[in-house]
């Protein structure tokens, strides 16, 4: 039922009070439905909900990791591509580790802080891309109050570890 139908009911109603009540309830329902159809603002992607055409947005193009270090050459041999999703509850962190392979990712939700062993930090926000350090010890942590969701892409080879843990580091 739309607002015009509700107005016609009100006009034809012999009991104006009943018709007015129906109009008010109907208008409130239409307002609630309109609110449900509004653009999402709960993620980094809500801003794209009203797109009218295909968009190509380059998030990163670089030969360096986020700390400015040049990425290594690709290894010779057959590649193995690995995609992982990491979920960091608020206040959580990964242990110290390093990656022997080139990797990059897109933060889907929240804010993630990456800390190098030397103390250098980078905070990545939802919707941003990050090119990770290769061969440099670091860890990530969620200092915010919202769960972090991070999708990472690794360019590896069969048998090569994605990450090497360093439990001996107690920083």
Beta bridge partners of 138: 97, 116
- Cα-Cα-Cα-Cα torsion 39, 44, 47, 51, nearest 10 degrees, comes to -100
Question: What does the angle CA 108 – CA 171 – CA 93 come to, to the nearest 5 degrees?
Answer: 20
pLDDT of amino acid 171:
80
Strand pairing category for 80-88 and 97-98: unpaired
Report the largest interatomic distance among the alpha carbons of the chain, rounded to a whole angstrom.
Answer: 85
For 109, other C-beta atoms within 10 Å of its C-beta total 19
pLDDT of amino acid 95:
96
pTM for the full predicted model: 0.71
Pull the structure tokens for residue 159: 């048998």
pLDDT of amino acid 42:
56
Q: What is the pLDDT along the chain (171 residues), one digit of tens a residue?
A: 444 443 444 444 444 444 334 333 344 444 434 444 444 445 667 888 899 999 999 999 999 999 999 999 988 899 999 999 999 999 999 999 999 999 999 999 999 999 999 999 999 999 999 999 999 999 999 999 999 999 999 999 999 999 999 999 988
pLDDT of amino acid 7:
43
């Amino acid at each position: 039922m739309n607002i015009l139908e509700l107005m016609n009911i009100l006009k034809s109603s012999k009991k104006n009070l009943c018709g007015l009540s129906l109009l008010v309830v109907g208008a409130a329902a239409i307002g609630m439905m309109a609110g449900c159809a509004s653009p999402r603002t709960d993620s980094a992607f809500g801003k794209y909900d009203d797109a009218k055409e295909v968009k190509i947005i380059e998030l990163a193009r670089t030969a360096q990791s986020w700390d400015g270090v040049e990425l290594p050459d690709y290894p010779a041999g057959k590649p193995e591509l690995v995609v992982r999703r990491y979920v960091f509850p608020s206040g959580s962190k990964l242990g110290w580790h390093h990656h022997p392979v080139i990797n990059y990712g897109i933060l889907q939700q929240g804010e993630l802080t990456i800390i190098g062993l030397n103390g250098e930090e980078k905070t990545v926000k939802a919707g941003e891309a990050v090119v990770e350090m290769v061969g440099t010890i670091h860890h990530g942590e969620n200092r915010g109050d919202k769960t972090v969701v991070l999708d990472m892409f690794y360019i590896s080879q069969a048998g090569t570890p994605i990450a090497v843990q360093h439990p001996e580091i107690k920083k």
